[in-house]
Copies of this chain bind each other. A is one copy, B any other.
Amino acid sequence: MSLVMTRSRNLALVSGFFLLTSVPAALAAEEASLEERVEALEQQLIEAQQRAQDAESGAREERMEQFARHMEGEEGFSFNGYARSGLDIGENGKSAPGDPYLTPAGSVGGAVGRLGNEDNTYVEATLNYLQRFENGAKSHYRVMLADYSQSSNDWTAADSQLNVRQVYVEFSDLPAFTGAFENASIWAGKRFDRDNFDFHWLDSDFVFLAGTGAGVYDIAFNDAWKMNLSLYGRSFSEFPTDTNVEPETDSTDNLVLTANNYFGPVQWMISGMSAADNSERVVAGSQNVADKGVHTMLAYHGDSFFGLSEGNFKVALMAGEGLGAEVKNIGSDGNLNEDAVSTRFGVYGTTYISDNWRIAPMILAETSQDRYVKGDEYNWLTANVRLADEINTNFEMQYETTWQTMDLKPQQYAGRSDAQGHYAKVTVAPTFKPQVGGFWNRPEIRAFATYSTWSDELNDYAETDAFGQDDFTGGQWTFGVQAETWF
């Protein structure tokens, strides 16, 4: 309230002044000497200017600044979101199964190009509340609701997945923080880590660190070295701890301690994790499950297209052991074998190859051994290229071609059979945008036609996955429409 009152008072001053002074000035015109009248005028002008200036510099300006911050999401409530929703219909006139993870390799993170490969509705609604305190400190509260549905209906209560993915507070500009912590911010709660980054075209992160915990961002030891520290907890689903007796169940926690170091464009991430009694878990009939793990990533964030042209590129090498062998969703897989080892390599770049043509090539590949069962082996590689031809300010043609090769030897884990072969997809997508320009600006409304083909051998990998379905073999055409936005 105080601000409002202050403002009102200031304005009263200004208005009051005008009423009080302008009337006498008018009367004065009759009898006073020119000399007096000019002096009066000068006086009035000076006072008017002074008063006007006071009013300008008062609560009104503060409000205007506050509104500017409000509209820019820097104060009070703000709304962020991501959403995609659409249809993807096969030649049989029914929704095409699957998504970027539809191939056998997808079961271990081997995504393929997403364009024209999604028939679901996924939405994230993020509500923020930003506060500024008298001492200059800032607080950012965030809660995110998310839902995933493959139903095209408007009422999906029966299969709703709506849940709360993030709830946390983060403090910054804390006056009591000094030295290496002067510009540090601290957080606690449930969140996606700030430093996650992704291959947009595969709907896959390089690394995705998330859970419930606390951390510190932007500890600056010197100009060249910044560090972020975090502790995240993950909950492993309940599991039988004994196969002989009737299965009682138990659950456990995986605690992940992560240090993220930045040296200019170079990022070195190192994580260690421990999951209490996870070694008691029974997987594929035996108890060799990991109860600890380590994960690391060396990444480079380039501000050009590999130094060749304008754009950007990112390249990273990820490796993990034990619970760390799930190298993307860090610490989230409780079934990993104690001997599990994985190495993953990823690279992408974006640039313009002419005034209106953009290109984004990428490669993601992983090799993983003793992952769930001693002796199993998972090898896959995905290559993907997204092309866009900007026709006018509201329309562009998008093209995506993706190719994946895989050699998977799951050793019957989860009833899976060996799978060796290839998958390929080509998509053409006429795309509408409020304003074209670059790979990252949304929203988009797109139609698409996709042709995909794959080795028949891949259909035997699992009965439950897309390729395992009777009416989904060999190659196929799919057609669809989709909206996508983020802000």
Contact = CB atoms under 8 A, between A and B. Distances in A.
A191 B35 CA distance: 72
Interface stretch (A119-127, A259-267, A311-319): A119-127
B157 A161 contact: yes
Contact of A162 (B34, B71, B162, B213): B162
B445 A64 contact: no
Nearest to A65: B4
A356 interface: no
A353 interface: no
Nearest to A77: B79
Interface string A70-87: 111001111101010111
A15 interface: yes
A83 B143 contact: yes
A186 B41 CA distance: 57
A129 B3 CA distance: 22
A61 interface: yes
A150 B63 CA distance: 41
Contacts of A145: 125, 145, 162
Interface in A24-56: 25-26, 28-29, 34-35, 37-39, 41-42, 44-46, 48-50, 52-53, 56
B163 A147 contact: yes
Given A4-B68, A164-B123, A174 B434 contact: yes
Pick from A7, A72, A151, A395 the residue with the most CB of B within 10 Å: A151
A428 to B, nearest CB: 16
Contact of A432 (B92, B186, B433): B186
Contact of A434 (B22, B171, B393): B171
B85 A188 contact: yes
A387 interface: no
Contacts of A44: 45
B41 A45 contact: yes
Interface string A188-226: 111110000000000000000011111000000000000
Contact of A277 (B94, B150, B151): B94
A148 B152 contact: no
Contacts of A45: 22, 25, 41, 44-45, 48
A154 B447 CA distance: 32
A134 interface: yes
B134 A435 contact: yes
A141 B234 contact: no
Interface in A127-174: 127, 129, 131, 133-135, 137-139, 141, 143, 145-157, 160-169, 171, 174
A62 to B, nearest CB: 10
Interface string A454-487: 0000000000000000000000000001110101
Contacts of A133: 434-435
A432 to B, nearest CB: 6
19 contacts: A4-B68, A22-B46, A66-B71, A67-B67, A77-B77, A77-B79, A83-B189, A87-B231, A131-B434, A137-B435, A152-B233, A154-B191, A155-B165, A156-B165, A174-B432, A175-B393, A176-B392, A187-B483, A188-B446
